[in-house]
Amino acid sequence: MGEVVNLRLARKRSERAAAETKAAENRARHGRGKAEREREAIEKSRAERDLDGARRDPPSKPD
């Protein structure tokens, strides 16, 4: 037979784990210097520009 689990404690444990994960993501996102944020913005805009430059226009419909 399985082990008895207190559902209230299990729920609180999972909520704490989710909160810690979110906190770690926020620390990674907001705990950077200005130069790092600017570099990431430049890289993002460069990637978007390259993607848009590689986009192929759909063939025009004959009239």
Categorize the per-residue pLDDT at 57 as very low, low, confident or very high, splitting at 50, 70 and 90: confident
Return d(Cα 28, Cα 40) in angstroms, integer: 13
- 16: amino acid identity, one letter: R
Return d(Cα 5, Cα 43) in angstroms, integer: 48
* pLDDT tens digits along 4-46: 989 999 999 999 999 999 999 999 888 888 998 899 999 999 9
pLDDT at 63 over 70: no
pLDDT at residue 61, as a whole number: 73
**39 to each of 2, 13, 57, 61, how far by Cα in Å?**
53, 37, 30, 42
- Residue 13 belongs to what H/E stretch? helix 7-30
Stated pTM of the model: 0.46
- 49: amino acid identity, one letter: R
